[in-house]
Structure 1
Amino acid sequence: MAPMMRLVLGLGVLVLILSAVALGLPAHVTATRSVVINAPEYVVFPYLNNLRRFQEWAPWSDKDPNIKLTYSGPPEGNGAKVEWTSEVPSIGNGSLQIIESKPSSSLSLTTDLKGLQGLSYFDLVPAGAGSKVSWSFGFETGSSPLKRWKGLMLDGYIGEVYEHGLEKLKKHVEADRAPTITQPAPAAPAPVETPTAPEGGETVVPELTPAPQAQ
């Protein structure tokens, strides 16, 4: 058998094996990351619900300072949308659009990450004096072997990105809530007492007693 024919057969067998393995992979994949923020849910929620604030904590902006964001729909709540374009291959193009907004509780968003389409979720629950924010992304792999293999790598790719974004969100929210330290006003100088003139109009000069001379 010719070497080229062996190569073709070998590749064909490999594709069949990978396809068979893919059938055993999950048909729905979800990646989730969480962070605890020192602020109640009603304080954190507007940062997520208003997509025009997305640039403040977006995980991609550090990798590409020139990322272009385009907003459409209402500023916040259902229908709000942000799209981004980037020349950095690891970021590419994508979008988020809010489809369900539950104040101080959760958000659901249609999501496109470099052509990988699915749903994102933000969930906010109390955590001590603050709140725990979870960011998830999930998509249906269907029967496509390629999508199922993509799903297998989803947690490693999305997890790192979402983790970075949540840490930026935490720093931003907590910095906005930090009390500002005001410098105390300088104390007014003490008034200088001046000799008071008697009724006759002459200034009284205190008599100085000469110092005793040494013997």
Structure 2
Amino acid sequence: MLKTVLLSLLGIVVVGIAIVLILAARKPDTFQVTRTATINALPERVYALIADFKAWGAWSPWEKKDPAMKRTYGGPETGVGATYAWAGDKNVGEGSMRIVDATAPVRLALKLDFVKPFEAHNDVIFALTPQGAGTVVTWTMTGPTPFIGKIMHVFMDMDRMVGGDFESGLTAMKAAAERPA
């Protein structure tokens, strides 16, 4: 009787693992998270908040999650070659960013590398489109999804998880850009 129950439980576990692996195998090889906001400020003002890593404290959602994180800046203050590295608590992890393309005031591209809580190498683009006296900001992050990541995506939605942070960041960016100078 006990042997039958244990074999049945083992069978359920094996079937469960097989289902997760099959679902993971069907996940895409890359992910993309995109959020957009309209900010009532000229593109030059918004661009200044993005192109200078020291200005990210005014709007980045991760800066607020761990105000005590260690920050290191390198290269030029703004534009291609500017770097920013951080090491923080479990809410922000550890990693670095480097500006790889800067077309003021319409586009900024970053290489984003995470070390902790897991290694990841992603691309980030901020696209700024003038709209009347304002700016439409589109924040996009893309990256590869290795098989272990696909397994994680079976249980959690990357778009929902990171998208909420993007939405918070864009809301704070809007407030910072619209604040009187």
Asked whether the two chains share a fold, i.e. TM above 0.5, the reply is yes
The CA RMSD measured in Å over matched residues stands at: 1.9
Larger Rg: 1
Q: Percent identity?
A: 28
The residue number in structure 1 matching 2:105 is 104
Does 1:163 pair with 2:167? yes
Structure 1 stretches lacking a partner, 5+ long: 178-215
1:143-201 per-position Cα deviation (integer Å, ceiling 9, x unaligned): x1x21244562111110111111111111111144xxxxxxxxxxxxxxxxxxxxxxxx
The residue number in structure 2 matching 1:209 is none
Higher RCO (C-alpha under 8 Å, 6+ residues apart): 2
Of 5-14 and 150-159, more deviation after overlay is shown by: 5-14
CA distance in 1: counterparts of 2:49 and 2:106, whole angstroms: 13
The residue number in structure 2 matching 1:63 is 65
CA distance in 1: counterparts of 2:75 and 2:11, whole angstroms: 53
Task: Specify the SS of the correspondent of 2:91.
Answer: coil
The residue number in structure 2 matching 1:129 is 133
CA distance in 1: counterparts of 2:5 and 2:80, whole angstroms: 59
Shift of 1:6: 4.3
1:72 to 41, 53, 74: 74
The number of equivalent residue pairs is 174
CA distance in 2: counterparts of 1:64 and 1:149, whole angstroms: 28
Whether the 8 Å CA contact 2:56–2:63 is kept in 1: the answer is: no
Task: Specify the SS of the correspondent of 2:162.
Answer: helix
- From the two aligned structures, give the one with the greater helix fraction: 2
CA distance in 2: counterparts of 1:58 and 1:92, whole angstroms: 14
- From the two aligned structures, give the one with the greater strand fraction: 2
Alignment TM-score, normalising by the size of structure 1: 0.73
CA distance in 1: counterparts of 2:92 and 2:8, whole angstroms: 39
Runs (4+) of structure 1 exceeding 4 A deviation are 2-6
The residue number in structure 1 matching 2:96 is 95
Once the two structures are superposed, the pairs formed by residues 192-211 of structure 1 within 5 Å of their partners are none
Structure 2 stretches lacking a partner, 5+ long: none
CA distance in 1: counterparts of 2:152 and 2:78, whole angstroms: 31
The residue number in structure 2 matching 1:203 is none
CA distance in 1: counterparts of 2:82 and 2:8, whole angstroms: 55
